[in-house]
Amino acid sequence: MTWYVPPGPLSCGTRSSHPGKPLTSVADFQRENGAPGLGRAWLAGAPSAGYRWYAVQCLAHRETAAASHLSNQGFEVFFPRRRKVRRHARKTESVLVPFFPGYLFVALDLSRDRWRSVNGTYGVARLVMQGDRPAPAPAGVIEQLQESGDDMSVIQWRPDIRPGESVRVVAGVFSDIVGRLERLDGAGRVRVLLQMMGGHVPALLPEEIVVPARSSV
C-alpha cells in the first residue's frame, strides 16, 4: 500500500491508491454488525503504548467478515468505510463500502501478541509484511484518518470536481445524466448544465450526487 495523508479533507485528489478510511472503535462495528465480544479497549485515537497499527490484506469482499473474526479473537480492528450511491432495480441507494478496498487495520504489539494468528483468520489473506515482520503504518496516519470519520468509522469522501469539468449525476431524478459543471457555491450545492432535451439545461444540485463523468463511484 502507498501511504499518504493530506492535511485537509479527504478527496479524490488527495487519496492514496485506494479511496481509504480508518476505524474508530470495535464497539461501533460490533453494534452495527452484531459481532459479539469486544477487543482490547483503547482511548479514541492511538492504541496503547507498545502497539502500532498494521495493514491487513483481506480476501475479495471479505473485509467485514475478517474484521468480525479478528475482533472476536481480541484484536483491536480499524475498518474504515465510506458511503457510495449505487443503482439497483431502477432505484438508487446509499451503501457503505470499504474506504480501502481489500484492507483493514489491526493494532498489535509484536513483542507480545501472537500476530501470526492474524494470517489464519477467516477472510484474511495476509498481514502486509516488510521482510519477515509486519510493516507498521507510519505513525499518526491511522489516527489522522480516524479523526476524519464519524462514530461509525465512516469517512465523508467524494471525488474532486472543478468548474468546466464533465460530470455525471449519480442519484435523484437526473441520475446518469451527463453535463458540465458550471460553478460550485458555498452551501454544498453545484450548478450543472445537463445535456438533455437536445440542449443544455441548468440545474442546481447537491454536490454529493455529482461526480466526474469518468468516475465509477
Instruction: Delineate the domains of the chain, giving CATH numbers in brackets.
Output: 12-155 (3.30.70.940), 166-212 (2.30.30.30)
To which residue does cell 480492528 refer?
Answer: 77
Letter for the amino acid at 2? T
* Geometric angle at alpha carbon 117, from 111 and 123, rounded to 5°: 135
Q: Can you tell me the mean pLDDT for 192-200? A: 88
- The C-alpha atoms of residue 60 and residue 7 are separated, in whole angstroms, by 31
- The C-alpha atoms of residue 1 and residue 129 are separated, in whole angstroms, by 11
Which three-class secondary structure state does DSSP give residue 110?
coil
Q: Can you tell me the mean pLDDT for 121-137? A: 96
**pLDDT tens, position by position, 143-162:** 888 888 777 778 876 667 88
Q: Backbone phi, then psi, for 83, in 5-degree steps? A: -90, 140
> Around Cβ 82, how many Cβ atoms within 10 Å?
22
- 201 forms beta bridges with 194
User: Grid coordinates standing for 82?
Assistant: 465510506
Q: Are 184 and 190 in contact (CB under 8 A)?
A: yes
Q: Are 59 and 186 in contact (CB under 8 A)?
A: no
- 205 forms beta bridges with 190
Provide the pLDDT for residue 207: 84
Lowest-confidence pick of 12-16, 45-49, 96-100: 12-16
To which residue does cell 501478541 refer?
Answer: 113
Task: Indicate the pTM of the whole model.
Answer: 0.60
Lowest-confidence pick of 17-21, 130-134, 212-216: 17-21
Q: Backbone phi, then psi, for 8, in 5-degree steps? A: -120, -160
Quote the percentage of the chain above a pLDDT of 90: 40
* Geometric angle at alpha carbon 208, from 18 and 211, rounded to 5°: 60
- The C-alpha atoms of residue 68 and residue 188 are separated, in whole angstroms, by 35
Q: Can you tell me the mean pLDDT for 187-216? A: 85
Letter for the amino acid at 112? R
- The C-alpha atoms of residue 140 and residue 121 are separated, in whole angstroms, by 26
Q: Which residue has the higher pLDDT, 149 or 64?
A: 64
- The C-alpha atoms of residue 27 and residue 117 are separated, in whole angstroms, by 22
